[in-house]
Structure 1
Amino acid sequence: MRRLPLFFIALLFAAPSAQADIEKIAIPGEKGMSFYWWPKLPSIAGWHQDKDASFHLSVNALASDNSTFSNSETVMYAKAIFKPRDPEIKSLEMLIARDKKDFLANVPGVEIREVKSLVTADGKQFKSFLFIPKGSGNWERVTYGEEGEFFLIFTVSSRSKSGYDATEITYEKLIGLYKE
């Protein structure tokens, strides 16, 4: 009989190693619980979390100081996808392919180019893609990773190329400081 509790204690110690550093929030509402999961992001000088946008969009939304997510020229955000909630996606490559397909369908003429991978603080390489608009549209860089039971998506999005260029190093730093 004593072995059973020891087994559960061992599971408790083993389980955290398979999880990314995910902020998990549950908020009761009229229709039941609303769950929000997103990567915990390091503090970056000149940027802050826009909590209202984070909850509204279900992402960890960052805006430059003295602006909000909705009125900032350039924003950054991170999303965590719990794999069991998206069972048709079996791999990171499938997730990337789906995102590219959806983006091409919704933003005609966009050019998608793979760029250098980014490395997290714990040494994991995340694939990165640049989304270049033809004409008007947002300049975006999207970086994909996988940790434990989660797919992770980090994005910098700007209404202008100059805004994107001014933020690219900060975005790379954000991912470089992220760790499981």
Structure 2
Amino acid sequence: MNPSPNSEIIHQVKSCRICEGKLPLGPRPVFSVDPKSKILIIGQAPGTKVHASGIPWNDPSGEELRRWLRVDRETFYRPELFGIMPKGFCYPGRGKGGDLPPMAECAPTWHGQLRRLMPEIQLTLLVGSYAHAYYLEDRRKKNLTETVRAFGEYLPEFFPLVHPSPRNRLWMRRNPWFEERVIPELQDLIHRFLF
């Protein structure tokens, strides 16, 4: 029996070594996709905890993201509900202000092929400025805050979000409208598509 094209592309991504010489912990692509996925989450790149476990969003940022979505762990990790694909598939290393940007090679090499495996996607969550830049391009506002505030302009295809990292707690305090207005809209959409 020949492998399906779906399993072949997934194997290719999992075996990717394009950036091998640039990655401090070596390549370990972390993603989760399924032909039946309804919501696609495009984040930045795995941190060290996710790199170690191989499970996407398996860290404090993931806990906060699940709170925003109002879904439990079990639901979140059902690939027929949530496809998970970062802009950079491997841990990029550490810089002065936190993790380095996602590797630039991943999205143009793999995103299109993986997105074609998920024809039932109803909504794509763009989590963080790197995902905004890649998918919204010149449709972005002058900064991340204004892009997130204008989330309605990108629907029904995209929903831009700030990254749920604990490092963004100050941003949350300075922008209470995010919890008051954006999160309830996000939860309504998620539950409409999933349940």
Q: Do the two structures share a fold, i.e. TM-score over 0.5?
A: no
Q: Flag the structure with more relative contact order, 1 or 2, with Cα contacts below 8 A and sequence separation at least 6.
A: 2
Higher helix share: 2
